[in-house]
Each structure stands twice: as C-alpha cells, then as structure tokens.
C-alpha cells in the first residue's frame, strides 16, 4: 500500500466514525497537536471529532536528505475525538486492519507513554503503540491544555505516516517509500529536504528572523487583546516556528532561550483561556447542536 | 458456600503499577471483609495488563452477628438518692433499644460506667457485596487520569466490570460501566466469554490466552529463554527489573530470538545494551564466554503463530535504531573536546547559575582545591582540575542526546578516543557516581575529587539560587548527591572537613555568579542540608540521635572521623567507668557557653588548682591536636579524659563567679579554652548518658 492509499484509507475509515475530515492547517507547525483544530478545539465542553493529515516541520531534524529516518518535514495523520469514546482502542485497531495490518500476524502493544508540552501548558496520559516493536502511533488522553483542565477529555491519535509506511512497504530508507504509483518520497521531498536543511543551518537571515519573532509576538498579543483568538493563535504558531528556525541554527543564547519559550507559553495560555471565554459568549454552539439532535 | 469474583477490565495499565496494584487489591479486600465481618476461606488476586481481579473463595452467606458493648453515662449519675434510675440512665437505654434491666456496670480507669450489650445482626452477604464498589474506586495508582466525560480518576479507563456472587451478578456501576458476568480474553487471540462461576475464572482466561498470574507469566518467560539458550548455545543474563516490566506488558508471553547486523558490534556494548533494554525491552544475548552477540530476545504478547513476521519487524526496528547509533558514534568522534566545550556555552545548567560551561569552570576550580585538601600529588591534582573542566563535554554529543543514560559512559570512551589520559577519562565516567543511594563509588582519587566537586557545586548553587528541596520535592536529587559526597569522603578517608569544602564551593560560586541569596545565609543552609544527610547516614549505621547530635550537630568536620567518634561515644555512654569523666567535661561545657572575649592571663591565677588545670590543658592540647589530626578517636578522647581530675579540683577549689571581676573573667576564659578542646571533639553535652541504668 503506498502512502497516498494509506491516507485515503485512514480518511475513509475515520470519516465513517463521524470525524470531520479537515485539510492540513496552513501555518507552519512542529506537530499535528499544535493545529488549532486540535489544540483549541480540545478546550471547553463542546464535542469535537476530526481527522486530518498534518505536515510537521522540525527544523532541528533536518539532515539534508541524507538520513534514512529523519526529516525536516514529516507527515502525521491526526485523529481527535472529544469526549473520548469508550471503544476508542477498538476503533484504532480496526483502522490498522483497514491498512492491512492483521493483528493476529503481528505483535501490537500499548506501552505506557505520557506526553507533556510545557510550552503549550499541555499534558496527557496514554501509550505509544508498538507494531512488532516499532512505535507507530502516539495515543493520548489529554488531561490539560493551555494550563486548563481538559473536560471532557479529548483523545488524540497521531499516526507517524512515514514510520508506518516504512513498515507496510518494508523499506529501510524513508526516501524509497512509494507515495503513489511510480512516485517516491524522494521524487517529491528530497529537494525541499536538502534546501530547507541548507537554509535552516546555513543561509537563513538571522536578523530578519529575530525581527519577525518580535513582530509576531507583538501582533499575537495585540490581536488577542481584541478578542480575536484564531488570528492571535496563528501568530503564536509563527512565533514557535521562527523560534525553531533560530534555535536549530544555534543563534539563541541561553538567557534569550528561556525568555522566548516563556513568551510563547504565556501567549498560548492566555489564548486557551480566551478561546473558552469566546466560545462561552457564543453559547458553546456545537454543544447545542448535539443536544437538539 | 459460594465464591465471589470482582474483575476490573482496563485499557492497558502501565506495567510499573501492576504488581503493587494487585497486592493493594488483595489487602483492601481482606481488610474490607474483616470490617464487614464476613468470613471466607481465601482471597486470591489476579492481574494482567488489561485486568485486576480478586476471587474470594467460600464466602459466608451472611455477616457475623455480634454483641457489642455500648458505654453509657457514669454509674454515679445513674441513680437518684431514692435508688431510682435517673433520666440519664433511662435515656441511654432507650437510645440503645434496651431496657434498664439490661444495664450493668464496668470500670474504666477507676470510674464505673453503665453498659448495655447490643446485638448487631449480620446482614446477608448478598446485600453487603454491592458496597465493594468503594474498594474498586478507591484503588490508588502512581498516576491517575480522566477519560470521556467521567470525573473518576484511575490508572487507565475502566472498560468492563465483572462482579459475581456465585452465579449471580452483583449490581453496581462505575463511570457508566455496569457490572456483568462477561469478561474479555486476549485482545486478539481471545474473545468475549461468560463466567458461569467465580471459581472458573482462572481456567476460563487461560483458554482465552490470558495468564492472569504474574509469577506464572514470569516463570514461563524464564523457561522459554532457557530453551533458547540451549538451542543457540548462548547465555542470557536476566535483568530482574526488565523481566518484571516485560512480564507486565503481556497477557500470554512467547519469547523469541532475533538478530541484528554483525557490523553494529563495533558500537560500544553499552550503547547496544541500552538500545535493546531501555528502548525495545529486549534481553541482550551473550556468547558462552560472555561476549555480546548480535542477537536479542524479545517477548511477544501472543502465541508463536506468524512469529517470523514479528521477529522480522523487531529486527528491522532494532537495525534502524543501531544505524542511528552508529551514525552518532561516527559523527561524535569527528568532533573534539574543544568543540563540545564550546557548545556547552549554549546549554543552561540552571537559569540563575548559568551554562554548563560556567559550571565546568567552577567545578574545575573546586576540584583543584579538593585535590589539595586530599593531599593528592601535583600530577594527580592537575589531572583532577582538567577532568573536572571537561567532565560534562559528552552532554552535547549526539549519542548522549539520544541515550541520556549513557552520560559519563560515552564521555570516558570519547575522551580516550580524543587522546585524554586513561585516568582522566575514567574520572569523567566516575564523577556521576554514586548513581543510587547505595550504588558504587568512584574507584579513583581523581574520579572521587571530581564527583565531590560536581555535586557540591550543584547543591551549593541550587540552594543559593533559592531552590532548597522541601518534603518530597527534590527535583535535582540533591539529597542523594549530598549523601554521595559524604560516602565518597568516608570511603577515601580524606582529611577534608565538610565545612571547609562548603566554604570553598561558595567562595568560588559567589565570585562568579551574581543575583544569589546572601552568602552567609547560603552557607548556613548548605551546611544544615548536608548535616541532615550526615544524620541520615549515621542513623543507618544504628547510631542513636543524641550521639549523632554530639558529633555532627554543630559541624561535621571530617566525616570519616565523625563516624569513628560516634562509635566510641556510643560505647562510652554505656560505660560506668566513664561517668566521672563525662560529668567533669560536661560541667565545663555547661558553664562555658559563650566566648568571654579575651585570652587567659596566667599571671592572674590566684589558686594552685586553676593554675594546674591551665598547665595540664596546655600540655594536653598539643597531644590532643596531634591525635585529632591523626584521627585517633580513642587516644584523643583519652587525652580529654585525662583532664577530668584537674577539672574536678578546679571546681572544688574555685568560685568561677568570683566577686573579683578580674578573677571571674580569667576563670571563664580558662574554661572557655578547655571547652573549645572538648567541643572540637564532640558536643558531649548533647549526649544522654546512660551509665546509671
């Protein structure tokens, strides 16, 4: 099964479980969790079921396309369900079967792994799911987001697409994976991997990035003060990515580093609170919809 | 008689909670049955990743009926002058559903009270059992979570509940899960099954590929590994902690052997072993002569069907990990200690205390000082300073970034590769020791000096930055590090007083770092903190609190000497022959509590006895200091003891608080001088002398 078919299969499968199929969010981010479709929507009492592919950028993992396992940008398939359904493990295992993974032929295990992202004031409990010893999915019950209690609890499934594909297609090098018939990951992503690595580690304009960080941060704060949660959050994501670029280049000094992280953290926390407040003002519309059904 | 079964069906529980949870469920069940007065034959607990269960065999059909004694008012107010029962007495009997004919009296602590016997009828067990719900909801785990819209916090979500009394379901509900007689077997090999009788539980599960007994799963794994060992002519050391974890990751174990590419054997063994054990939960495999083989043993949750696919998948994962590790190993060796030290300038040790590079400089300074105090030769001292400076360089290597547990271990290997002297490289590894409370100590002087310097800088810095550990909060493991310092000092038998070391550490710290708390305050806090650990270590050696207070209450000095003095005093405090000496010495301490502020003036002495004491003290002091220096705890105390007759003579013949101010001050100065000698040995006034008993 090539990557394209895997994505289609997962989309069809989760769509049948009443997940809203969304497209990747158009601001750079390090993980699917950071999309507002997960991070903000997991806040507050409104139900939320969604699935989407998230291209995730991790500048520090850039390897000029030379490492068989590490990428500047990889893909996650993200599923979030709030409140977490009682049969979520079964639903997840059936999704693996849909990908052609017969549990009787393999060894599938749920191994304790608790997740924490202090920058976003977020924490969750769950497992990494092992397929014959390989971690293929992060399975997390959110307990806290943006410093607020997650209530009801959102469950988040993050499939590592390239990981899973390397198993399904039995390839050792990520660039050899077939994206669709006759097209490999190398064909599509090798050049950007190389160029982004070169840009990140050698060519980026550091002064401009510092300037951008400060501007994005200021804009995030001012936008939030106007009660515009989503645009404010976009600027937080931009801050976070800009910071990652600077950090990967190694130009952030010790004292600055702590300062930058705490700026992002306090923004994220304030936005989490503001999001819940704004939804409350609207009367939690998605909650009403469900009741009226 | 019927049996009772409760089973809590869970999403996979963290392996580390399971054995404790099983034990807890058993104990809570037994305590509950006792409290509820329900007789039973036996309680058996079960566990597997997806369940905790308890079987109560042959439970009594009803609670025991008992007679309870109910205490009423005091007998003296029970009857009036005419001998009739008072309102108090009648009220009490009514309250207990009894009549005055049932009253009797009994004395409690000399006072007579009214009593009645009250019969408490046993309820049918069937009616009591639903309350077991509370036992289930009150289970405690290391870490709890919420799920769905539930408010209950538990190790992992509860997905089914079995509660059976004989063939009947005991009705209750927890977090929207209702009890039934249906359980679930192995996630893939088993299915949904009805339990007809509680006693069938264990065998029913076995049929569903679940072995619900920890020891049985563990023994099965050991047996399977033995078979593999014989088949392949290899040897597999069993790490107990890993075995326990692996056992609790499966409901039905099948061990198998897999391999990795021979070429990876060029990576250091420690890296291969960490990859296998920590990341993949595999058992490393050795040849019969103890060399690491390119093999591993993994344990699958299931039977041996399609085991080749599982094996292949596991091999692929391990090979990918090792390929990363080899890449790191090769890359790391292309650097140099210099480049890594430069990188440390960008890694924060602690916000207020600066980078690891700044720490390295402080630790190097301190280590040099320690080498001097320890009397190391100039070559060793120079190596100590250098080893301390580079001791953290491996933190920024790729390998330690990926395998943090290899800090120090990789440092040693890379240092050798970069051409450092073997004893410097060894010290880099050893400076993290001891890793556990009773763990191995550095085997070399250089390693010991760097270990002390690093730990002391961390403790002093953290406390000076206002982050003193309190209660269970000790995120930097400062207590373990403080105990480590003392253990190393004792082991090395170095003449370095703890207080001198602390002062050096703080002087270096305050010369380099701004924005810390007041140095005098920090000095007191650090001293106090390390003294607490010294107390703890001495208590572990069965030394009693008062003796500990005597030798380490004011200051620790040379820790190994404090330990020896404690042993002597622990014995002397029981020795009747020492009583007279002790009384004399303590009498001096009790009077000389503060510094009179001037020296003794021999020409002001008015009596022979004060002059004699002075002269004897002068002679004794020289000898005493020599013994103290040589850490001869018996001899030093003997010298102090030899002053006892002169002290007695002094007190018999002189008024300390003489009317003549000059006389008085001079006598106080003399006593202060003698007290100083005694206190430099131990604060004998802290000891509860026990000779009289």
SS (H, E, C) chain A: CCHHHHHHHHHHHHHHCCCEECCCCCCCCCCHHHCHHHHCCCCCCCCEEEEEEEEEECHHHCCCCCCCCCCCEEEEEEEEEECCCCCHHHHHHHHHHHCCCCHHHCCEEEEECCEEEHHHCEEEEEEEEEECCEEEEEEEEEEEECCEECCCCCEEEEEEHHHHHHHHCCCCCHHHCEEECCEEHHHHHHHHHHHHHHHHHHHCCHHHHHHHHHHHHHHHHHHHHCCCHHHHHHHHHHHHHHHHHHHHHCCCCHHHHHHHHHHHHHHHHHHHHHHHHHHHHCCCHHHHHHHHC
Q: pLDDT at position B548, please?
A: 94
Q: How far is A226 from chain B (nearest CA, A)?
A: 32
Give the other-Cβ count within 10 Å of B334's Cβ.
Answer: 7
| CA distance to A90, B311, B589, per residue, from B579 (Å) | 78, 75, 15
CA distance B459 to B472: 16
A112 with B187: Cβ contact below 8 A: no
DSSP letters spanning B237-282:
---HHHHHHHHTT-SSEEEEEEE--GGGGGS-HHHHHHIIIIIT--
Rounded to two decimals, what is the model's pTM? 0.83
B36 shares contact with chain A (CB less than 8 Å): no
A69 shares contact with chain B (CB less than 8 Å): yes
Q: How far is A187 from chain B (nearest CA, A)?
A: 22
Size of interface A-B (CB pairs under 8 A): 113
Structure tokens at B494: 């170095």
At residue B355, the 3 state secondary structure works out as strand
Structure tokens at A138: 């992060």
B313 with A134: Cβ contact below 8 A: yes
Question: Where is B112: in which H helix or E strand?
Answer: strand B111-120
Q: Detail the DSSP E strand segments found in B320-378.
A: 348-350, 354-355
B323 with A108: Cβ contact below 8 A: no
CA B52 from chain center: how many Å?
Answer: 28
A216-255 pLDDT per residue, tens:
999 999 999 998 999 999 999 999 999 999 988 878 766 6
Q: Are B655 and B607 in contact (CB under 8 A)?
A: no
CA distance B651 to B609: 9
B301 with A153: Cβ contact below 8 A: no
B16 with A109: Cβ contact below 8 A: no
Query: Chain B 129-148, CB below 8 Å of chain A: which residues?
Result: 143, 145-148
Q: How far is A29 from chain B (nearest CA, A)?
A: 23
Structure tokens at A133: 């010893």
Find where tokens 């403080």 sit: B482
B309 with A254: Cβ contact below 8 A: no
Structure tokens at A76: 């996650």
Give the other-Cβ count within 10 Å of A48's Cβ.
Answer: 20
What's the angle, vertex CA A148, arms to CA A143 and CA A153, rounded to 5? 35
Q: pLDDT at position B229, please?
A: 96
Q: How far is B469 from chain A (nearest CA, A)?
A: 22
Q: pLDDT at position A253, please?
A: 67
Q: Does domain A204-292 have CATH number 1.20.58.180?
A: yes
Domain boundaries, chain A: 3-200, 204-292
In DSSP terms, B4 is beta-bridged to B56, B165
Q: Are B118 and B96 in contact (CB under 8 A)?
A: yes
The backbone torsions φ and ψ at residue A127, rounded to the nearest 5 degrees and listed phi first, read -140, 165
Confidence of residue A290 (pLDDT cuts 50, 70, 90): low
Question: Where is B356: in which H helix or E strand?
Answer: helix B356-373
Q: How far is B309 from chain A (nearest CA, A)?
A: 7
The answer to whether residue A118 scores a pLDDT higher than 80 is: no
A109 with B310: Cβ contact below 8 A: no
**Chain B residues touching residue A114 (CB < 8 angstroms):** 143
* Nearest CB to B298 within list A83, A133, A150: A133
Q: pLDDT at position A282, please?
A: 93
Contacts for B306 with CB less than 8 Å, ≥ 6 apart: A104, A105, A106
At residue B51, the 3 state secondary structure works out as strand
At residue B363, the 3 state secondary structure works out as helix
A134 with B316: Cβ contact below 8 A: yes
Q: Could you give the percent of chain A with pLDDT greater than 70?
A: 97
Structure tokens at B96: 């207990």
**Which residue of chain B is at minimal alpha-carbon distance from A101?**
B309
**Chain B residues touching residue A143 (CB < 8 angstroms):** 145-146
CA distance A122 to A42: 11
Mutate to test the interface with B, among A46, A112, A145 (most CBs of B within 10 A): A112
B302 shares contact with chain A (CB less than 8 Å): yes
Question: Across residues A196-209, what is the average pLDDT?
Answer: 94
Q: pLDDT at position A144, please?
A: 94
Q: Which of A80, A88, A73, A74 is nearest to A39 (CA)?
A: A80
Q: How far is B300 from chain A (nearest CA, A)?
A: 6
Q: Are B163 and B6 in contact (CB under 8 A)?
A: yes
Q: CA A33, A37, A40, A43: dihedral to nearest 10 degrees?
A: -90
The backbone torsions φ and ψ at residue B6, rounded to the nearest 5 degrees and listed phi first, read -120, 130
A104 with B187: Cβ contact below 8 A: no
A121 shares contact with chain B (CB less than 8 Å): no
In DSSP terms, B394 is beta-bridged to none
B317 with A133: Cβ contact below 8 A: yes
Mutate to test the interface with B, among A132, A136, A154 (most CBs of B within 10 A): A132
A82-106 pLDDT per residue, tens:
999 999 999 999 999 999 999 999 9
**Chain B residues touching residue A250 (CB < 8 angstroms):** 346
* Nearest CB to B346 within list A167, A170, A253: A253
List the CATH code of the domain at A3-200.
3.30.930.10
A153 with B327: Cβ contact below 8 A: no
Mutate to test the interface with B, among A60, A68, A85, A86 (most CBs of B within 10 A): A86
DSSP B142: S
A63 shares contact with chain B (CB less than 8 Å): no
Q: pLDDT at position B100, please?
A: 86
B147 with A153: Cβ contact below 8 A: yes
Q: Does domain B566-686 have CATH number 1.10.10?
A: no
B146 with A86: Cβ contact below 8 A: no
Structure tokens at B397: 């290597």
A65-78 pLDDT per residue, tens:
988 888 999 999 99
Q: pLDDT at position B82, please?
A: 86
Q: How far is B149 from chain A (nearest CA, A)?
A: 5
Structure tokens at B558: 């040379």
Could you please state the CATH topology (level 3) that the domain comprising B339-540 is classified under.
Hypothetical protein af1432 (1.10.3210)
CA distance B431 to B570: 34
| pLDDT averages per 10-residue partition of chain B, 693 residues | 97 96 98 96 98 98 92 89 89 88 89 90 96 97 96 97 98 97 97 96 97 98 97 95 97 98 95 94 95 97 96 94 90 94 86 90 97 95 97 93 91 97 97 92 97 97 88 80 96 92 97 91 95 93 90 91 93 87 92 87 89 93 93 94 93 88 90 93 87 54
For the beta sheet containing B253-259, the strands, ordered from the edge strand earlier in sequence to the opposite edge, are B253-259, B292-301, B283-286
B309 with A86: Cβ contact below 8 A: no
Q: Detail the DSSP E strand segments found in B409-500.
A: none
**Chain B residues touching residue A175 (CB < 8 angstroms):** none
């Amino acid at each position: 099964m090539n990557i394209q078919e895997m994505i289609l299969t997962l989309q069809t499968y989760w769509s049948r479980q009443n997940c809203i199929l969304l497209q990747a969010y158009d601001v750079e981010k390090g993980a699917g969790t950071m999309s507002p479709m997960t991070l903000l929507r997991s806040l507050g009492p409104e139900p939320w079921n969604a699935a989407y592919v998230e291209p995730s950028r991790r500048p520090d993992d850039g390897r000029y396309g030379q490492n068989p396992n590490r990428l500047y940008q990889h893909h996650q398939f993200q599923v979030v369900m709030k409140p977490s359904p009682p049969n979520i493990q079964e639903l997840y295992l059936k999704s693996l079967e849909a990908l052609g993974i017969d549990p009787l032929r393999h060894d599938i295990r749920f191994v304790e792994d608790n997740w924490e992202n202090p920058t976003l004031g977020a924490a969750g409990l769950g497992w990494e799911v092992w397929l014959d010893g390989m971690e293929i999915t992060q399975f997390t019950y959110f307990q806290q987001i943006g410093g607020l209690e997650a209530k009801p609890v959102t469950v988040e499934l993050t499939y590592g697409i390239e990981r899973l594909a390397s198993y399904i297609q039995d390839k050792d090098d990520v660039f050899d994976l077939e994206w669709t018939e006759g097209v490999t990951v190398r064909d599509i992503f090798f050049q950007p991997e190389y160029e982004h690595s070169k840009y990140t580690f050698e060519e980026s304009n550091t002064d401009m990035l510092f300037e951008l960080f400060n501007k994005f941060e200021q804009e995030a704060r001012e936008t939030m003060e106007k009660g515009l949660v989503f645009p404010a959050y976009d600027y937080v994501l931009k801050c976070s990515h800009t910071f990652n670029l600077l950090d990967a280049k190694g130009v952030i000094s010790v004292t600055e580093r702590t300062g930058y992280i705490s700026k992002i953290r306090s923004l994220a926390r304030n936005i989490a609170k503001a999001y819940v407040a704004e939804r409350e003002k609207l009367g939690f519309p998605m909650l009403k919809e469900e009741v009226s059904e | 008689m019927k049996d009772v079964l409760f089973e809590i069906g869970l999403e996979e529980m963290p392996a580390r909670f399971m054995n404790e949870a099983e034990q807890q469920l058993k104990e809570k069940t037994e305590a509950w049955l006792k409290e509820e007065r329900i007789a039973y034959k036996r309680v058996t607990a079960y566990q597997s990743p997806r369940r905790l269960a308890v079987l109560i065999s042959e439970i009594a059909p009803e609670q025991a009926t008992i007679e309870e004694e109910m205490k009423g008012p005091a007998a003296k107010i029970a009857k009036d002058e005419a001998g009739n029962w008072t309102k108090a007495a009648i009220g009490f009997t009514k309250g207990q559903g009894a009549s005055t004919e049932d009253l009797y009296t009994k004395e409690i602590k000399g006072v007579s009270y009214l009593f009645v016997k009250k019969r408490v009828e046993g309820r049918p067990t069937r009616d009591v059992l639903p309350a077991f719900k509370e036992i289930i909801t009150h289970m405690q785990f290391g870490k709890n979570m919420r799920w769905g819209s539930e408010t209950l916090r538990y190790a992992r979500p509860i997905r089914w509940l079995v509660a059976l009394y004989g063939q009947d379901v005991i009705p209750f509900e927890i977090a929207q899960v209702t009890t039934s007689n249906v359980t679930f077997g192995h996630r893939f090999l088993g299915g949904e099954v009805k339990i007809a009788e509680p006693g069938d539980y264990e065998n029913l599960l076995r049929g569903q590929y679940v072995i619900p007994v920890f020891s049985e799963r563990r023994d099965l794994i050991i047996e399977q590994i033995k078979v593999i060992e014989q088949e392949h002519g290899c040897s597999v050391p069993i790490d107990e902690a890993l075995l326990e974890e692996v056992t609790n990751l499966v409901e039905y174990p099948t061990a198998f052997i897999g391999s990795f590419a021979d070429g990876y054997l060029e990576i250091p063994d420690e890296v291969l072993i960490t990859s296998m054990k920590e990341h993949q939960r595999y058992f490393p495999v050795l040849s019969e002569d103890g060399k690491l083989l390119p093999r591993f043993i993994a344990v699958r949750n299931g039977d041996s069907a399609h085991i080749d696919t599982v094996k292949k998948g596991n091999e692929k994962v391990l090979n990918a990990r090792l390929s990363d590790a080899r890449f790191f190993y090769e890359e790391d060796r292309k650097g140099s200690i210099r480049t890594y030290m430069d990188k440390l300038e960008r890694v924060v040790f602690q916000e207020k205390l600066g980078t690891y590079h700044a720490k390295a400089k402080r630790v190097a300074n301190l280590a040099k000082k320690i080498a001097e105090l320890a009397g190391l030769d100039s070559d060793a001292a120079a190596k100590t300073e250098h080893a301390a400076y580079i001791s953290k360089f491996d933190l920024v290597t790729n390998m330690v970034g990926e395998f943090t547990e290899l800090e120090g271990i990789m440092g040693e290997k890379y240092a050798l590769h970069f051409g450092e002297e073997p004893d410097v490289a060894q010290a880099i590894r050893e400076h993290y020791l001891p890793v556990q409370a009773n763990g191995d100590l550095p085997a070399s002087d250089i390693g010991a000096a760097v270990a002390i310097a690093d730990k002391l800088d961390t403790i002093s810095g953290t406390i000076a930055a206002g982050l003193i550990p309190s209660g269970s909060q000790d995120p930097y493991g400062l207590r373990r590090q403080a105990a480590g310092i003392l253990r190393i000092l004792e082991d090395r038998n170095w003449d370095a007083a703890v207080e001198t070391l602390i002062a050096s550490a703080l002087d270096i710290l305050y010369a380099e770092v701004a924005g810390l708390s007041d140095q005098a305050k920090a000095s007191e806090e650090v001293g106090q903190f390390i003294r607490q650990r010294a107390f703890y270590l001495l208590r572990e050696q069965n030394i009693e609190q008062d003796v500990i207070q005597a030798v380490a209450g004011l200051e620790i000095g040379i820790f190994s000497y404090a330990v020896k003095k404690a042993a002597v005093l622990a014995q002397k405090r029981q020795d009747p022959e020492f009583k007279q000496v002790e009384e004399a010495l303590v009498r001096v301490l009790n009077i000389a509590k503060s510094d009179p502020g001037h020296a003794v003036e021999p020409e002001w002495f008015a009596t022979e006895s004060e002059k004699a004491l002075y002269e004897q003290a002068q002679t004794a002091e020289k000898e005493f200091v020599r013994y103290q220096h040589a850490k001869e705890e018996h001899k030093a105390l003997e010298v102090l003891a030899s002053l006892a007759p002169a002290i007695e003579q002094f007190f018999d013949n002189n008024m300390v608080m003489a009317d003549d101010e000059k006389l008085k001050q001079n006598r106080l100065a003399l006593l202060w001088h003698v007290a100083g000698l005694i206190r430099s040995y131990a604060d004998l006034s802290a000891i509860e002398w026990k000779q009289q008993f």
